[in-house]
């Protein structure tokens, strides 16, 4: 829904009244279409998407109550059964109004009402509906709200990123956030949203690597109509629709299948989409942010990622460097996290002794800020006195700090398959981790999602794993 100019279908057979009302509503910023018969109204609703329906009750062909019933019943998959409905009645016809509300109308207005009252009521219905839609999102978000949403860091790199966030927030261009696992890509995306004019709208995200098959992913993205496929028992809105007026973060974008890449490209180019199994086109009214810990230009070179899509999403690139490239952030992050966790576990305010801090700074943190944060939580849980020393650091299992160096690799003259090496590394890590995917992901410094997607890609199996549904 566009907040500024909601679209409305007015169903009214009294054309002079309809004209007057629609002119008045247009003055208030509504985009208003008029249908003079029930039949015409249902055709329009099937073909086009509206934010609100206002309908007269008595009409020659299909009356208002019947229209409400048909929409709410969900029996016609082309109709949005959740669209808010308001009925028009005359002053002395409260009984019909009540019946309409029972059938699923959100409110009624009498034809004699003054313009301000009508507008207030319509806006209230729209607002209620928006809240309803947001509810599902909020539940999602609350469940996984990051405990700390502030971006900490004083390094030159983080200062630059703060500037880029401010810059990106001022525009509408698609942002591509790249960086290793745990560097704070999602945090940056949320910060852009919060600083943007869309801050009051929803922030919606979708992890493109987390879904087991493509159809599920497409239906998460675009939603589906009732009956679009066997399990589609009811209409469902997709993330593009839920993000209306806000920001959509597409995480792990590199994992999109070629087909999904094509679909996404079309949406970005046309700024329109349809629900699966749906005929109506809906406008995309959200800012798109993509994130990935893969090297997309490399994926393009290898033909795994569409070049045209890459250029479309790489309009405003932000690279979040790994922690080992901004060691000066480690002390301030460590102090920040230990402070927070000490409070959470009701410990006295802690401090690091010098040797302990040096140790933290010398470690390479393959899991980046997330790993540091988790480590600080372990410290807070185990600390006995407020001064954190080397002993505690060792007891909490920090792998021996070592200089960061790439493993020496010799490329044979006839070349080497990166894909095969990656697979061998993944299997080796899984073996070392006792086939625990989370631990194996940590060993390789990648996200669990990325590990999952590799496991899926190569069809890796282990008897201890539960079979996927």
CA 63 centroid distance within chain: 40
Q: Torsions phi, psi of 228, nearest 5?
A: -65, -30
Q: Which of 26, 135, 148, 234 binds ligand ATP (CB under 6 A)?
A: 148
Closest distance of CB 446 from Mg ion, Å:
12
**Cα–Cα distance, 348 to 341 (Å, whole number):** 10
Using the contact rule CB under 5 A, the part of the chain among 142-150, 180-188, 227-235, 421-429 near Mg ion is: 180-188
Give the residue at shortest CB distance from Mg ion: 186
Q: Which of 6, 38, 77, 179 binds ligand ATP (CB under 6 A)?
A: 179
Q: Torsions phi, psi of 211, nearest 5?
A: -100, 135
Q: Return the structure tokens found at 345.
A: 């576990």
CB nearer Mg ion, residue 186 or residue 241:
186
Residue with tokens 């949203």: 193
Site string for ligand ATP, 275-304 (x = CB under 6 A): ------------------x-----------
The residues, any chain, with a CB within 8 Å of residue 109's CB and separated by 6 or more, are 54, 86, 87, 88, 89, 117, 118, 121, 122
**Cα–Cα distance, 296 to 254 (Å, whole number):** 7
Q: Which of 64, 77, 153, 321 binds ligand ATP (CB under 6 A)?
A: 153
CB nearer ligand ATP, residue 70 or residue 373:
373
Residue 370: contacted member of ligand ATP, Mg ion, none (CB under 5 to 8 Å, by partner type): ligand ATP
Q: How many residues line the site for Mg ion (CB under 5 A)?
A: 2
**Cα–Cα distance, 14 to 12 (Å, whole number):** 6
Closest distance of CB 422 from ligand ATP, Å:
17
Q: CA nearest 324: which of 369, 375, 373, 390?
A: 369
Using the contact rule CB under 6 A, the part of the chain among 21-29, 168-176, 367-375, 390-398 near ligand ATP is: 367-375
Q: Is 220 in the site for Mg ion (CB under 5 A)?
A: no
Closest distance of CB 8 from ligand ATP, Å:
39
**Cα–Cα distance, 223 to 274 (Å, whole number):** 8
Q: Is 370 in the site for ligand ATP (CB under 6 A)?
A: yes
Using the contact rule CB under 6 A, the part of the chain among 342-350, 366-374, 399-407, 437-445 near ligand ATP is: 366-374
Residue 425: contacted member of Mg ion, ligand ATP, none (CB under 5 to 8 Å, by partner type): none
Q: Which of 46, 152, 315, 460 binds ligand ATP (CB under 6 A)?
A: 152
The residues, any chain, with a CB within 8 Å of residue 71's CB and separated by 6 or more, are 45, 53, 79, 80, 81, 83, 85, 104
**Cα–Cα distance, 186 to 291 (Å, whole number):** 8
DSSP string spanning 259-270? HHHHHHHHHHHH
Q: Is 186 in the site for Mg ion (CB under 5 A)?
A: yes
Q: Is 44 in the site for ligand ATP (CB under 6 A)?
A: no
Q: Is 186 in the site for ligand ATP (CB under 6 A)?
A: yes
Q: Is 180 in the site for Mg ion (CB under 5 A)?
A: no
**Cα–Cα distance, 412 to 181 (Å, whole number):** 30
Q: Do 217 and 171 contact (CB within 8 A), yes or no?
A: no
Closest distance of CB 106 from ligand ATP, Å:
38
CB nearer ligand ATP, residue 25 or residue 323:
323
**Cα–Cα distance, 365 to 386 (Å, whole number):** 24
The pairing of strands 7-11 and 31-35 is parallel
DSSP string spanning 110-129? ETT--HHHHHHHHHHHHHHH
Q: Which of 3, 46, 137, 151 binds ligand ATP (CB under 6 A)?
A: 151
The footprint of ligand ATP on residues 436-465 (CB under 6 A) is 447
Residue 179: contacted member of Mg ion, ligand ATP, none (CB under 5 to 8 Å, by partner type): ligand ATP
Using the contact rule CB under 6 A, the part of the chain among 38-46, 100-108, 118-126, 177-185 near ligand ATP is: 177-185
Q: Which is it for the CA torsion 270, 275, 281, 287, positive or negative?
A: negative
Helix H or strand E encompassing 379: helix 368-382
Q: CA nearest 355: which of 398, 313, 312?
A: 398
**Helix, coil or strand: residue 31:** strand
Q: Which of 84, 184, 246, 445 binds ligand ATP (CB under 6 A)?
A: 184
CB nearer Mg ion, residue 22 or residue 452:
452
Beta bridge partners, 48, equal 281
DSSP state of 465: S
Closest distance of CB 288 from Mg ion, Å:
15
CB nearer ligand ATP, residue 56 or residue 180:
180
Closest distance of CB 427 from ligand ATP, Å:
21
Q: Is 225 in the site for ligand ATP (CB under 6 A)?
A: no
Q: Which spans of this chain sit near ligand ATP (rule: CB under 6 A)?
A: 146, 148, 151-153, 179, 181-187, 251, 293, 369-370, 373, 447
Q: Which spans of this chain sit near Mg ion (rule: CB under 5 A)?
A: 185-186
């Amino acid at each position: 829904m566009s907040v500024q100019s909601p679209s409305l279908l007015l169903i009214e057979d009294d054309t002079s009244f309809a004209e007057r009302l629609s002119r008045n509503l247009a003055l208030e910023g509504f985009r208003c279409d008029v249908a003079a018969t029930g039949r015409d109204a249902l055709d329009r609703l099937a073909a086009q998407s509206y934010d609100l329906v206002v309908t007269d009750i008595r009409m020659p062909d299909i009356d208002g109550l019947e229209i409400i019933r048909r929409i709410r019943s969900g029996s016609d998959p082309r109709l949005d059964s959740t669209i808010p409905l308001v009925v028009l009645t005359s002053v002395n016809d409260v009984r019909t109004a009540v019946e309409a509300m029972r059938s699923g109308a959100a409110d009624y207005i009498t034809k004699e009402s003054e313009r301000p009252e009508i507008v207030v009521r319509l806006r209230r219905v729209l607002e209620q509906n928006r809240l309803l839609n947001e509810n599902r999102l909020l539940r999602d978000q609350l469940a996984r709200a990051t405990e700390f949403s502030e971006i900490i860091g004083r390094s030159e790199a983080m200062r630059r990123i703060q500037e880029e966030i401010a810059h990106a927030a001022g525009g509408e261009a698609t942002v591509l956030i790249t960086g290793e696992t745990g560097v704070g890509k999602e945090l940056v995306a949320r910060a852009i949203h919060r600083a943007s004019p869309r801050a009051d709208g929803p922030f919606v995200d979708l992890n493109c690597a987390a879904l087991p098959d493509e159809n599920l992913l497409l239906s998460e993205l675009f939603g589906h109509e009732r009956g679009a496929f066997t399990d589609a028992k009811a209409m469902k809105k997709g993330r593009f629709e839920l993000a209306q007026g806000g920001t959509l973060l597409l995480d792990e974008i590199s994992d999109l299948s070629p087909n999904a890449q094509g679909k996404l490209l079309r949406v970005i180019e046309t700024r329109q989409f349809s629900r699966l199994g749906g005929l109506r086109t809906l406008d995309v009214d959200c800012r798109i942010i993509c994130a990935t810990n893969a090297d997309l230009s490399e994926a393009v070179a290898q033909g795994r990622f569409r070049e045209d899509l890459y250029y479309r999403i790489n309009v405003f690139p932000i690279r979040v460097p790994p922690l080992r490239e901004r060691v000066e952030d480690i002390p301030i992050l460590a102090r920040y996290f230990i402070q927070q966790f000490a409070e959470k576990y009701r410990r006295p305010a802690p401090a690091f002794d010098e040797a302990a801090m040096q140790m933290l700074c010398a470690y390479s943190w393959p899991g980046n800020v997330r790993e540091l944060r988790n480590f600080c939580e372990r410290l807070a849980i185990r600390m006995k006195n407020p001064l954190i020393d080397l002993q505690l650091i060792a007891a909490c299992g920090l792998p021996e700090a070592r200089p960061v160096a790439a493993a020496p690799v010799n490329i044979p003259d006839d070349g080497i398959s990166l894909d095969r090496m990656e697979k061998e590394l993944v299997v080796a890590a899984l073996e070392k981790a006792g086939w625990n995917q989370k631990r194996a992901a940590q060993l390789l410094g990648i996200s669990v999602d990325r590990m999952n997607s590799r496991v899926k890609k190569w069809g890796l199996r282990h008897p201890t794993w539960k079979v996927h549904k």
